[in-house]
Amino acid sequence: MHNIINKIIGIIIVVLIFLLGIIVVSNTYLKKREYSKKFFYMDTYIYVKIYSNNSKKAKKILNEVEGIYKEYHQLTDRYKSYNNVKNIYYIKNNKSNDEYIEIDKKLYDVIEYGLKYKEKTNGLIDIEMGNVIDVWKSYRDMLGGLPSDSELKLANLNKKEIVLKNNKILNNHPNIDLGVIAKGYTTQIVGEYLEKKHIKEYLINAGGNVLVGKNINKKEYTIGIENPDVENDIFDIVKCHNMAVVTSGGYQRYYEYNGKRYSHIISPKTLYPTNYMKSVTVITKNSAYADILSTYLYLLPIEDGIKYVDKLKGVEAIWYTNDGKIKYSSNAKKYEYKN
């Protein structure tokens, strides 16, 4: 009898020690750790954080991610040409006599994605607006004066329509501006790349374009929305996972003239910056879509925007009005973080 009890106790102890061993080993070898990288592309600060139990793999993946941002940065750069990169600068300044020119498939896809939304948004998302943006930029850079109506209208009249065909683009020198989608689109590509590499837990913040995967410690990520009126402050906190959260606002990048602020987001309808709100934040699965939608909503009066979002599935939005009030689409509060 005694022997049997001793044996059982012995077995239990061996099992417990074995379990302890497993805990220690799994904590050192299998525990997922945080790896992050920061870099500067697309005129913005980009931060990527992933979790992995394989440090070599994690570092390799982060390098690849930086490579993706760099590649799309060059492809969507309007102002510079790069060796062997057929970017939108190359399209605008092409000197060949060919009717159509071949471009990088990746750039072709971005342009195609952007064009798709021109009709859906009644022309408010327009990637053919390069001429008008250039006029505004020249005044911003000079830090003086405002463009005249006729100057803006002339620039708009001279715009060239983008025509895509079988990975080629019509060689009519369109002045393409991908500012409304470049960051969100690339962030979406990066998110898909991470999922493909079996990285499920990640957080990306590319200058106001946030994309999160699963959270490793808690169920949801908590994402603060910056207060346009108070520096270093947030006015709301959103909790979510596997979601994109994108803010468009006129308060961060703007141009001040005669005491009036002109945001960098120009309406293709009026050719002037709009002033319906201080910021709008979109919450939805796809980061490219969120980026486009946040700009679209920024260009719409708030009431119209709420009606528009309420008709969509899987999209919510939060507005910060000019007088500092917060407005929600009908189900946005389900993302609200309660402390």
Partner 1 sequence: MQKNMNTKINKYDLILIIILLLLTFLSLIFIYKKDKKYKYAYVYYENKLVKKIDLNKDKNYTVKGYNGMVKLVVKNKKIKVSEEKSPKHLCSKRGYISHSYEQIICLPNKIVVEIKTVDNIDTVVK
With CB under 8 A as the contact rule, the residue among 226, 255, 276, 316 that binds partner 1 is 226
Considering only the stretches 68-76, 157-165, 201-209, 304-312, report the one whose residues sit in contact with partner 1 under the rule CB under 8 A.
Answer: 201-209
With CB under 8 A as the contact rule, the residue among 231, 259, 311, 323 that binds partner 1 is 231
Q: Are 52 and 61 spatial neighbours (Cβ–Cβ below 8 Å)?
A: yes
Q: Which is nearer to partner 1, 155 or 244 (CB)?
A: 244
Q: Which is nearer to partner 1, 154 or 230 (CB)?
A: 230
Instruction: Based on the shown chain and the rule CB under 8 A, indicate whether residue 39 belongs to the binding site for partner 1.
Output: yes
Q: Which residues pair with 261 in a beta bridge?
A: 256
Query: Cα–chain-centroid distance for residue 161?
Result: 26
Site string for partner 1, 236-275 (x = CB under 8 A): -x-------xxx-x--x-----------------------
Cα–Cα distance for residue pair 283/319, rounded to 1 Å:
12
Q: In angstroms, what is the minimal distance from the CB of 7 to partner 1?
A: 8
With CB under 8 A as the contact rule, the residue among 176, 189, 223, 288 that binds partner 1 is 223
Q: Which of 175, 262, 252 is nearest to 209 (CA)?
A: 252
3 state DSSP class of 3: helix
Q: Are 35 and 52 spatial neighbours (Cβ–Cβ below 8 Å)?
A: yes
3 state DSSP class of 117: helix
Q: Which DSSP symbol is given to 213? A: -
Helix (H) or strand (E) holding 170: strand 168-170
Binding site for partner 1 (CB under 8 A): 2-3, 6, 9-10, 13, 16, 20, 23-24, 27, 37-40, 45, 47, 203, 205, 208-210, 212, 215, 221-226, 231-232, 234, 237, 245-247, 249, 252, 279, 281, 339
